[in-house]
Every structure is written in C-alpha cells, then in structure tokens.
Chain A
Amino acid sequence: MERRDFLKGVIQLSAAATAAGAVVAGFAEENKKNPLMLRPPGALPEEEFIKTCIRCGLCVEACKNRENKMVLNGKEIDTLFLAAPKDDAPIGTPFFIARTGPCFMCGDIPCMYACPTGALTPKECQNDKGKVAIDYAKMGVAVIDPSSCIAFWGLQCTACYRACPEMDKAITIEWKQNKRTGEHAYRIPIVHEDYCTGCGMCEEACVTEKAAIKIFPREVFLGKVSDRYVKGWSKKDQQRVKNASTKTTTKTPWSEKNPLNNLNEGVSWQ
C-alpha cells in the first residue's frame, strides 16, 4: 500500500509539474521571438542569441555608462534597454529602438565586450579578413519608403545621408532628373546593405513625422539571390556562380524528360 501511495504521489506531482511547465514553456515559446527586434552589435543570429543570452544586462550597463555620451535636444540618449514585461521583446534581452535611441557606434564597442556569454561576440562584428570593428556590425539594414521619403517628392533633404556614420558608403545620393517638373533634380538616398551597420542614425534623423527610413533586422528584410542569376554585364559576378550546378532542382512529371522531347511530344495541360 505504501508503494502504491508513493507511486500515486509521483505521478500526480509529475503531471502537475508538466501541466504548469507546459503553460510556462508555451508562454516562453510565444515570447521568445520578435523578428523585428534590433539587437546590439555582434549579436548571434536570433535563434542562437535567445539561447545564449543570460539576460544579465551587462551590455545595457556598458552602453549606459559609455564614454561617448550623446546629447540630442538637450537630453542624454540611452540606446540599449533590457526588455521588461511591457516591451515587445523577449523578456530580459537587450534591444534598441532606432528612432528614439540609435546606436552611436562607439569605437571600443563596450556592449559587445561586456557580454559574458558570447551572445554578443566579436565573431559577428568582423569583416572577411577577421578584422573586428564597429563598422562591420550587422545590427540591421536601413530601408527607405519611397512614398513618404520627401526626396522622392523632389525636395532636397539628405538628412539621413548626412547623419550616417558610414557616409558615402552606406548611404549615397543619386541625382536623377525630375520628369514631373522637367527642370529639377531628385537627390535620392540609396542604401548599400554591404556597408550599412543598422545603427539607426538615419532613422533618428529622418525629418518626416514617422520615419521614412527605418532599420529592419537583416534576416527580415534582405532577400537572397540563388546562383541562377548573375549581375548584368558583370565579370566579377560571373566568378560567384563559377561552380554553380546546372542541374535543375524542380521536379514535376514534365521535367522528367528533357525540354526538347517535351516540346516535340506536346504537353497535355489537363
């Protein structure tokens, strides 16, 4: 009888713990991702980041007490925050909101080096040759909404271009003829993702009521071209697809035969 009671207790407690655990885990699973969150420089890919970040806030503390304090409109700007239960980010993890607190790209990257777990790591903040610098950070990428960017309306703005710490690399200005008036020029900002660090200075500087240039996580915004396509008339890009496979990966009943046979026999479209 005693063993029976013991077993009963074990089963009841395990069931209760599993039920409670499932609720917590379900909550955690729902709240562990916000794909639009901007992370500090050197952050691991989001999936790995959420595993590795212990939510200690050393990065936020390093950011708050950094040397190059920036004052905008008479107010000291805090960049990094640790997500509290009201913030739209996985609880306890660091994030920044570019419009109100962009990353000032400190040369010594205090937040990244403060991280004890490697969730922020120099490995994610270096160029192809392994040189670590804040200019190689990939916090996000700036995206322009042409419908609300006043440069596309024919006004001379360039606020984002001038705010950009990677001036003339991450954002360039392209001159175009304004065909609407026939006698004026557009000065259109163009973002170059390979230089853009996603710091958000452009979004902060944007003059429109709601920013016309915004930072999105690179995962969210950037596409990926397969090696089936080559940049038009580019010798250099030809090299990229040098070893591309010529085999097609699409398999349908029609692709079993070669195209010529298909054409000769005629394709029956049911």
Chain B
Amino acid sequence: MNKIKKYRFLILRRITQVSILFLYFAANAYGWKILIGNLSFSKLFNKIPLTDPYAFLQMLFAGAVISSDLIAGVIIILLFYAIIGGRAYCSWVCPVNLITDFAAWIRRITHHERDNLISAMKIRRFRYAFMIVMLIFSAIIGAAAFEFISPIGIFTRGVAFTFGFGWVWLLTIFIFDAFVLKNGWCGHICPVGAMYSLVGSKSLIRVYHTKENCTNCGNCLTICPESQVLAPVINKKSDFITGIECTECGRCIEVCEDNALKFSLRNYIKGETNEKISTH
C-alpha cells in the first residue's frame, strides 16, 4: 500500500497512457465512441475535436486548407496545456514515453545513467531547431514532413489499426535512448515535446520546491528526465520548477524522501514565491 502511495504519479500516468491507447483501439475494434482517432487528431465522445498542435502547424506550413474542426481542436488543446498541463502531454499521454522510460530504467538498473555517446549538454536545444526546420521542410515538400516518421503516430496508429514494420522504428528509439544518449528522443529530438514545452511554459500546475526540507540527496536530479529544469532550484531556493521542459511527471516528488517537492499551483496574482495551495 505504501508503495502504491509512493509511486502514485507513476501509476496514474501509466493508467492514463494505457487507457488512452486502449480507447483508441476499442474505437476501431468495438466501435466505442469515447475517444476515436489517434494522437494527431481525436474526437472525444464523438463530438469534441482534439488536434495535435504540431501536426496542425505542419499542415499550415504545407499549405493545406484548414477545416474548422481542426481549428477548434487545436484551440482546446492549446488552452488545456497552456493553462493547466504544461508539458504534461509527454509524460501523461504520449505512449513513446513508455519506451523511453523503459530505456531510462534499463540505464538505472545497470548503473549506466551517464554513459552517453553524444554530449547531452551540446545538443540540449537541438529539438527547438529541429522543430522549426521540420516546419520549413513541410512547406518545401508540401506535406507534414515529421508525420512521416513520428513514432507517436506510428505507435498510436499501430495500436488502433496496424503496426506493420512500425515496431522497428520504436525499437530504434529504445536502443538510441538506452545505449546512445540518455533521454535522447524525448529530451533532445522530439519536436512535438518541444512544441508542448513552448505551449505550456506558463502553465499553472508546477512542481514546488521547499528548500528548508531539502537534504541535497540528489535523488530527484538522478530520476528527472529533464534534470536541467531542477538544477537551478534544488537546494538553492524555495521556488517553482519553472523550466519549460518539465514534463510534470512527478518522479522527483516520488523519490524525494524529505517532503521537499510537491505539485502546486502557480499564483501569478500574488507573485510566484508565496506559499501555494498544495494539490496532493
């Protein structure tokens, strides 16, 4: 029971990720109308459109005529992540996170967390450049270019429809993450994550750090897939983790033995350093 409480966010995340996949599968296989489509575009309860903002942008650059359904869907998603979720898409929704977390787990149990073939520091902002470049290439070839290789699309379409050889690409990402670069795909390449980082940069739900409780054990920094967001705050000041690349996965809160981290609401009106309403 204690273990469940300790890993509550991890368990909840796996539940949301797997249920979303299952609902997509059930929509096609059994005709359920709860959540149909896949992560590039879905319909919730057969009514509410949900559009992937990066797919939307690529289509815009490719020169497609955009329908009102797509616009409504993109507004709903943008509002949700901009106000509430931050980059939560990456750790609570995206199924590729299952693969890359598994690769990170392999690294942890074999104690190879820091064995990288590529300098993680040097390519830290690669994803933002890649995000822009793929938009430009979408305009050049007249089609949403990243969608041709998006592992998110391949994964969700694979579960709902057919996988084909898509598993090869997913395996490649696993190998890359496990043996080449820690957190390589999600943390350095994926332009969808980069997009959500920018969209959710001012979101309300954030991790809050209390310096007084911190013993500087470093557990949070080890587990965090984007540890550069923790580094400026941990054991330095009591503040929100405001780094835009935080995926709100809650792993740091789980591994903290000293109650120094919690989910909290940013309060823009009172100023950010005031004590916040706890949400756990």
Contact = CB atoms under 8 A, between A and B. Distances in A.
A87 B164 CA distance: 7
A9 B129 CA distance: 11
A81 B160 CA distance: 11
Interface stretch (A26-34, A148-156, A184-192, A250-258): A26-34
Contacts of A58: 36-37, 41, 43
A232 interface: no
Interface in A71-107: 81-87, 90-92
Interface string A109-144: 000000011100000000000000000000000000
A193 interface: no
Interface string B66-77: 110110010000
Contact of B70 (A22, A31, A54): A54
B37 A61 contact: yes
B40 A55 contact: yes
A28 B143 contact: yes
A254 B111 CA distance: 82
B129 A14 contact: yes
B67 A117 contact: yes
A92 B153 CA distance: 8
B41 A18 contact: no
A48 B132 CA distance: 23
A16 interface: yes
B31 A65 contact: yes
Most buried by B among A9, A12, A82, A86: A82
Nearest to B61: A51
B34 interface: no
Given A24-B134, A54-B40, A92-B153, A81 B143 contact: no
A92 B147 contact: yes
Given A24-B148, A82-B157, A116 B168 contact: no
Most buried by B among A12, A81, A118: A118
Interface in B43-85: 43, 49, 51-52, 55, 59, 62-67, 69-70, 73
A13 B164 contact: no
Interface size of A as a range: 35 or more
A69 to B, nearest CB: 11
Contacts, number: 166
B1 interface: no
Contacts of A83: 164
B70 A84 contact: no
A207 interface: no
B65 A52 contact: yes
B145 A61 contact: no
B258 to A, nearest CB: 36
Contact of A56 (B40, B64, B141): B40
Contacts of B158: 84
B28 A57 contact: yes
Contacts of A20: 130, 133, 189
B31 A52 contact: no
B204 interface: no
A47 interface: yes
Given A55-B147, A92-B157, A86 B64 contact: no
A32 B158 CA distance: 19
B176 interface: no
Contact of A17 (B37, B69, B133): B133
A51 B64 contact: yes
A201 B144 CA distance: 33
B15 interface: no
Contact of B126 (A16, A65, A81): A16
Interface string B200-237: 00000000000000000000000000000000000000
23 contacts: A17-B132, A20-B189, A28-B149, A52-B64, A52-B65, A54-B40, A54-B41, A55-B147, A55-B153, A56-B37, A58-B41, A60-B161, A64-B29, A64-B31, A84-B157, A85-B164, A92-B40, A92-B147, A92-B153, A92-B154, A117-B41, A117-B64, A118-B67
